Amino acid sequence: MEKYSWDYIEQMNGLLDSKLEGLTPSELYLYMKLFQINNNKHRVEWFELKNRMLSAFIDKDEKSMIRLRNSLQQKGLIEFKAGRKGQPSEYKLVLLYDKKAGKNASTNASTSASTSASTSASTSASTCASEKVSEGQCLCGFPDPLKGKGKGKGKDNIPPISPKVEERIPYAQIVEMYHRLCPSLPKVQKLSAAREKAIKARWNEWDKRLDQFKACFSKVEGSDFLSGRNGKWSGCNFDWIMKQGNFTKILEGTYENKSNSATPAKQDSGIDWSKYDG
């Protein structure tokens, strides 16, 4: 059986050719975020994501996210299976092109106008795919062809993306990093408002650098005391680490092993360290 996947550029062309004008900016941003997440997951047919995570990604409350999600399904862009309370929902991007023919499913007319629009979209999407867009980043900040989609205050106009989008705090990525780098400690079951507040405080305090969190979590796992390997204490967890004084002391080396023979953090644990660089 052929492995399921979808074509990045053809899917983008299908969106630009047939679906773009019917979307509000908020609906478009949610779709592009799901597009990005699925692309990062190797474009599988179904992928899982918790409501709270997705809401944080698009900076909306959960009710607003659900309303936007329902709208995308009604407009034929996604399918989803809502998860039970506390469980992730499942998502699928509806193919917007004919996979067998290698063409956009929406391209039914052969007029020169549609051909010109498809060519323009293909060129712009290819530029996005190679990450050479001169203004704004692909997916995270919308593809370049969406910028300048008309001027004025008309409801169908797509406004330029605020720089605030690029500065959004990577809550989910930080929690994932904790899980990967601190396998000895309890898992975070829920990204609560209190935890988001603590992450935001440490993020701003340490120059908004993800590598500071990597360094902190690495030091925790490398410490026999904090990881619980020496059996002297087992109270270390995500919330304890995120406290201002504890986070600082960890980075300053307060809890590092005292002897040269102490157990180092595992180097062969299967962690892709380059994922957390920068």
Does the pLDDT value for residue 151 go beyond 80? no
Does the pLDDT value for residue 59 go beyond 60? yes
- CA–CA separation, 60 vs 249, rounded Å? 34
Residue 96 is predicted with a pLDDT of 87
Does the pLDDT value for residue 44 go beyond 60? yes
Can you read off the two tokens belonging to residue 52? 């709270």
Can you read off the two tokens belonging to residue 89? 């929902």
Give whichever of 40-54, 141-155, 172-186 has the largest mean pLDDT. Answer: 172-186
Residues 138, 144, 150, 151: is their CA dihedral positive or negative? positive
Can you read off the two tokens belonging to residue 17? 């050719």
Band (pLDDT 50/70/90 cuts) for residue 195 is very high
Residue 165 is predicted with a pLDDT of 39
**Amino acid identity at 52:** R
Phi, psi of 164 (to 5 degrees): -60, -30
Residue 221 is predicted with a pLDDT of 94
Does the pLDDT value for residue 224 go beyond 80? yes
- CA–CA separation, 210 vs 174, rounded Å? 8
Alpha-carbon distance values, 39 to 44, 69, 142 (Å): 8, 18, 14
| CB-facing half-sphere around the CA of 5: CA atoms within 13 A | 11
Band (pLDDT 50/70/90 cuts) for residue 90 is very high
pTM for the full predicted model? 0.40
Query: By the 8 A CB rule, do 57 and 175 touch?
Result: no
Stretch among 63-72, 95-104, 108-117, 203-212 having the lowest mean pLDDT? 108-117
Q: In 10 A of CB 180, how many CB atoms?
A: 18
- The residue ranking higher by pLDDT, 108 or 170, is 170
